[in-house]
Structure 1
Amino acid sequence: MCGMPQVPPIRSTPARPFRPDASMSLITNVMDHSLDDGYAEAAARKKAAGQGALPKPLRARLGLAAGLVLAALVVTVGAAQARVAAPVVAKERQELIDRIDRETAAADKLESDVDELRAEVSARQRQALRQSGGNPQADLVSTLAGATEVHGPGVKLVVDDAKDASTGGNGNPRETSGFSDTGRVRDRDMQRVVNGLWQSGAEAVSVNGQRLTALSAIRAAGDAILVDNKPLVPPYTVLAVGDGPRLSTRFQNSPDGLYLHALQDNYGIRTAISTESDLRLPAAPSVTVRTAQPSTEKGTS
């Protein structure tokens, strides 16, 4: 009997178990494969590429050389720019110096013109007083006020800094603001000298050619001594018109003369006094009349 052909039995393979995280393939890959593998692969590639690179010491030298070249380039460019700007700066500086010189010369000329005009005004005033029969004591008052030039016997006193005078102080009580060296002549020293000469009988006084009046001031500006706002340079030459021998003796015996002598002994300040037969003192550059009243007395011709 014919039977139906036999079909080989179908063997079913067991199904692989289903992973709960099958839908999260990216996270699964990250968890299954460590990042160290990627680093290791990159390091291998870098090592293979570096087999033909330069050695480390040579690379360091090349870097240093490149830095030196860059620094030299910067210095060269700066020097070139400085050479280009130097003539411009020098030209501007010279122009400024020339301008200062011109303005100084113009100021000196104006000051000279002012002095000439003042002298002319004073001469006209004296002439007008004489023509109008003014007070005969006007000339004496004008002389004592410093408005006119005077000459006659008197005393010449020279005061100078010590030989080793400097600008460094040493904490001495004599040191005050304006001057730090005890061997330098100061404004208060000149004040005492001038006042001492007036008190000793001087009729007219000048310092370095600067005529003093009742309104004159001796002050300090930094290390300089000013007489009526004009700076003086040592040595300081003081001229005093009067009875020469008597004026010299009285001044040297006065407290101010003894003060000057103490400066010489203690601080090395140099002084020299002498009597002169004829001294010439200029008129004061500026005498301002603040108050004036007409005289009721009639002058005699």
Structure 2
Amino acid sequence: MSLITNVMDHSLDDGYAEAAARKKSRGEGGLPKTLRAKLGLAAGLVLAALVVTVGAAQARVAAPVVAKERQELIDRIDRETSGADKLESSVDELRDDVSARQRAALKQSGGSAEADLVSVLSGATAVHGPGVRLVVNDAKEASTGGEGTNPRETSGFSDTGRVRDRDMQRVVNGLWASGAEAVSVNGQRLTALSAIRAAGDAILVDNKPLVPPYTVLAVGDGERLSTRFQNSADGLYLHALEDDYGIRATISAQGDVRLPAAPSVIVRTAQPNAEKTEKGTS
């Protein structure tokens, strides 16, 4: 009976009990590692799904608000643009009225052809006549940035295939030097006080931003003006931009081009020489 009782009380070898106790003391007891890993993965997936669900719900709630704000901004831009267009139209009408009154006053006071010539050359009067139409555009694959250095003379910009303000300066100066009598860029009449500058990637003409393509109209002897410009240093520079950087340019002689008057021709510093004026009238 004692043997049977001993077997019943100690059905497992004491070594198994000692091994189990050691595992428990080292924290290795409980669930198997594979099961714990699966449970952890499942918990992580549940947590990720919860985060995505909450984020989607918040985005769904915020979407109408964002769309409304965006539409309000678009509407405001449209209203401001429309208002600016109306003001610009009013300015053009007033400018035309002032020019007409000036011409009428000059005629009444004995105005001469020389006064009309000065008005035309100064850009104060809209003009038309034969000339050339030059369209300059960015390269087809133009970008907003580049790593290479553009060897264009003193441009200071990276080579991105974009037309720069210095390029337009050379084009305009080349047309003047080739015999142009009046020049405009994208409808902006140039005068002796005009400036072509850059603001980021945009080109400014008299502080008005322009976008490509840049259409340059010049009044002059059409065929002769076109030939002289293309053979000039500035015309060759433009051809080099086409060959080296993919900038696109086309020039054609026109039978009649029309240029508007300059927005404002105000002289703040220069004054006529009184002595020469008196000598000329005496």
TM norm structure 1: 0.70
**Cα RMSD for the two superposed structures:** 3.1
1:251 paired with 2:226, answer no
- CA–CA distance in structure 2, aligned partners of residues 106 and 121 of structure 1: 22
Q: Deviations over 1:258-298 (max 9, x none)?
A: 22233233333333222222111111122213245586566
Q: Provide the residue aligned with 2:175 in structure 1.
A: 197
Cα 1:178–1:118 shift into 2, 3 Å = farther
What are the within-5 Å matches in structure 2 for residues 143-182 of structure 1? Answer: 143-167=120-144, 168-174=146-152, 176-181=155-160
1:224 paired with 2:202, answer yes
- CA–CA distance in structure 2, aligned partners of residues 111 and 154 of structure 1: 27
The aligned length equals: 247
Give SS of 1:79's match.
Answer: helix
1:142 paired with 2:119, answer yes
2:98 to 121, 143, 153: 121
- CA–CA distance in structure 2, aligned partners of residues 67 and 164 of structure 1: 46
Asked if 1 retains the 8 angstrom alpha-carbon contact of 2:196 and 2:204, the reply is yes
- CA–CA distance in structure 2, aligned partners of residues 164 and 77 of structure 1: 42
Pick which of 155-164 and 211-220 moved more. 155-164
Asked if 1 retains the 8 angstrom alpha-carbon contact of 2:149 and 2:157, the reply is no
Give SS of 2:130's match.
Answer: strand
Cα 1:141–1:87 shift into 2, 3 Å = same
Asked if 1 retains the 8 angstrom alpha-carbon contact of 2:148 and 2:158, the reply is no
TM norm structure 2: 0.74
More helix by share: 2
What are the within-5 Å matches in structure 2 for residues 226-241 of structure 1? Answer: 226-241=204-219
Q: Sequence identity, in percent?
A: 79
Q: Deviations over 1:174-224 (max 9, x none)?
A: 39545532x332211111111111112211011122211111111122222
- Structure 1 unaligned spans of 5+: 1-43, 48-54
Give SS of 1:99's match.
Answer: helix
- CA–CA distance in structure 2, aligned partners of residues 172 and 68 of structure 1: 52
Give SS of 1:56's match.
Answer: coil
Asked if 2 retains the 8 angstrom alpha-carbon contact of 1:179 and 1:222, the reply is no
Q: Provide the residue aligned with 1:23 in structure 2.
A: none
What are the within-5 Å matches in structure 2 for residues 1-301 of structure 1? Answer: 56-57=31-32, 60=36, 69=46, 72-167=49-144, 168-174=146-152, 176-181=155-160, 183-290=161-268, 291-292=270-271, 296=278
- CA–CA distance in structure 1, aligned partners of residues 40 and 129 of structure 2: 88
Cα 1:174–1:243 shift into 2, 3 Å = closer
Asked if 1 retains the 8 angstrom alpha-carbon contact of 2:132 and 2:218, the reply is yes
Asked if 2 retains the 8 angstrom alpha-carbon contact of 1:160 and 1:270, the reply is yes
Q: Which amino acid aligns with 1:248?
A: S
- CA–CA distance in structure 1, aligned partners of residues 55 and 137 of structure 2: 51
Deviating above 6 A after TM superposition, structure 1's stretches of 4 or more consecutive aligned residues are: 61-64
